[in-house]
Chains A and B, each alone.
Chain A
Amino acid sequence: MSMIFEITLVAVVVAVACALPGVFLVLRGTTMVSDAITHTVLLGIVLAFFITQDLNSPLLMIGATLVGVATVWAIEALQQTKLLSNDAAIGIIFPLFFSIAIILITRYAGNVHLDVDAVLMGELAFSPFRRLMFLGMDLGPRALWTMLIILFINCLFIFLFYKELKITTFDAGFAAALGFSPVLVHYGLMTIVSLTAVGAYDSVGSILVVGFMVGPPLAAYLMTNKLHVMIALTVLMALVNSVIGVQLAFMLDTTIAGMIAVVTGVTTLTVFVFSPKKGLIKAFLNRRKEQKKMDQRLKTIEQAGR
């Protein structure tokens, strides 16, 4: 396999793995949870480092995932009180966890090369050079395997809990009335969001994680009202963005993750403007139509009045 092909493959798998849970983040209006996670993982890394005293320990990755889960759970718990809006809950937890990590580093580990980059590689361009070897066999880029496993877990979760996810997302009250807990499904979802974010962070870097989780589902959301169609479109958008992004990056000789993020932004905005269902142009035309209808009606009333 060539370099470009392998990089494209990794990008596609990461994009799809991120986009799937992203669908539900978009529908629930908690997209910025992904941004929060990519920052608070630092706290997990710092805490795990204090235990292991070793920057190369796999425990650091585990710590990162656990704090990612703690982040989403804490945000979730705050939201459940109904005293705060979604974004406010994120706004409290994310800076809190992140700044604790920063303070711990400056206070106790000022001279250690301790930051997220040192543990989570986050470089798509070099993913073909980090390979998984098993019994002397070269099985391909390691990131590909990590993300394939995460993709599988995400698919399985959505497949098994499709109905539950659907009901709790669109009508949490009704779900509770039916007797199953929206909270449990929600925590499950948030846990796979955290796992996906940390895994993807290690293969593509932090900004792209947010882009991958939010961009494609948002574009898909603007094109359809049906959940299963939205999921299919999300996967398609994720594919298109990463394939075009990698190609453009090689053409223009620039950073790959950055290029995919740009392509994601462009395609999402394009859909936002041109979507045949809910796009900006469509909305404008609809408004014009309504106005005309209204004028017509007013005219009829006037005429009738005479």
Chain B
Amino acid sequence: MKWVRGLVGVLSLSLMAACGNEQADDVSEDNPLNVVATTSMIADLMEIVGGENVTVSGLMGPGVDPHDYQPSTSDVNTMTEADLIAYNGLMLEERFVEVFEQMDQRGVPSVIMADALNETELLDPEEGEEDLEYDPHIWFSVSHWEAVTSHVADVLSEMDPDNEGYYQDNADTYLSELDELRTYIEERIEEVPEQSRYLVTAHDAFQYFGEEFDFEVIGLQGLNTQTEAGTGDISNLADFLVDNEINAVFVESSVSPRNIEALIEAARSRGHDVENAGELYSDALGSAEEDADTYLKMYRSNIDTIVDGLAN
């Protein structure tokens, strides 16, 4: 059985290769701090507050739905070298949270964005439901994101007390930029007549936005992009569009537009013309080419899309 011996040869060679790779270099200096962030929004924030004292690696790239994220082998290396892990919490990173908690116990601390908020500031999934889970899309409330910014600055200062002033300064600068963003959002929203402030999107990502800026927000799918929209959901929502004379709905960069297209068709069959008014960023930032690669740019782009779509 010569071929058996051949297979054994291949096997031992590859095992040797496996062992050869073993000397993974962890020659990382104490500075800068290696921060691993899950979503692109969090990576952006960590870079801003941490400045030159941190090296940030994001796990989920632009346009990636956190639910569909598949770690690659370089993510494994990134995680091995992490000094601090920054994640959203509230089940956004579902199956990876356990990993982060374990790493925390073994000396790689985490900073959880949702820790900046107390329970009363969080939204329940829907009225009438039990409090099984909170809405994780906290970044769409600018004031929540401000609280998160201060929280991140505090955690970084605690880990690196020598640079406390630097982190707090960065946070303060960013807080004023967030303030400008809020003003911009409020001004642009004024262009939309009050009776047409309806935001219909692919999934329930914008409830914090709706709460803060007084928009009625309706997501076709639930909080989780994996839940199927039932046929009832689509026809109910189509009726809702007709009743409230809503003419624009929005797709999301990280969610398939299929359901929204079905909704548009359903409304058309009821004799009501609805337009797909463009793509919003929900669970991930955009790319640099789309000019939506930071939180501020992403939010501005979203607001422009929403206002331009609804103001007509």
Contacts and interface: CB of A to CB of B under 8 A. Distances in A.
Interface of A: 2-5, 7-8, 53, 55, 102, 105-106, 109-113, 115, 117-118, 120-123, 125-126, 128-131, 133, 138, 223, 233, 236-237, 239-240, 243-244, 246-247, 249-250, 253-256, 258, 276
A2 B19 CA distance: 9
A122 B22 CA distance: 24
B227 interface: yes
Determine chain B's interface SS by DSSP, over half rule: helix
B235 interface: no
Given A3-B80, A123-B71, A129-B103, A118 B22 contact: no
A128 B11 CA distance: 22
A59 B223 CA distance: 25
Nearest to B124: A111
A223 B15 CA distance: 24
Contacts of A8: 18
B126 interface: yes
B19 A5 contact: yes
Given A240-B14, A250-B73, A3 B99 contact: no
Contact of B94 (A111, A118, A130, A236): A118
A249 B73 contact: yes
Contacts of B91: 55, 113, 118
Given A243-B15, A244-B14, A236 B99 contact: no
Interface in B128-162: 129, 132-133
A111 B132 contact: yes
Given A111-B132, A111-B133, A249-B73, A4 B67 contact: no
Interface in B220-235: 222-224, 226-228, 230
Nearest to B77: A3
B61 to A, nearest CB: 13
B79 to A, nearest CB: 6
B27 interface: no
Count class of interface residues, chain B:
35 or more
Given A117-B94, A129-B102, A236-B11, A4 B22 contact: yes
B11 A7 contact: no
Contacts of A126: 71, 76, 79, 96, 99
Given A113-B133, A121-B99, A276-B3, 8 more contacts: A2-B21, A7-B76, A126-B99, A131-B106, A233-B4, A244-B10, A253-B73, A254-B73
A125 B10 contact: no
Contact of A110 (B10, B76, B96, B222): B222
Given A3-B77, A126-B99, A255-B71, A236 B133 contact: no
B121 to A, nearest CB: 19
Contacts of B3: 223, 276
B288 interface: no
B10 A240 contact: yes
A249 B4 CA distance: 25
Contact of A130 (B99, B126, B228): B99
A126 B96 CA distance: 8
A123 B23 CA distance: 23
Contacts of A3: 24, 76-77, 80
Contact of B230 (A7, A106, A113, A250): A106
26 contacts: A4-B22, A5-B18, A5-B19, A5-B21, A5-B22, A53-B132, A111-B125, A111-B132, A111-B133, A113-B224, A118-B91, A118-B95, A120-B95, A121-B98, A123-B96, A125-B71, A126-B71, A233-B4, A236-B8, A236-B11, A239-B11, A240-B14, A243-B15, A249-B73, A254-B72, A276-B3
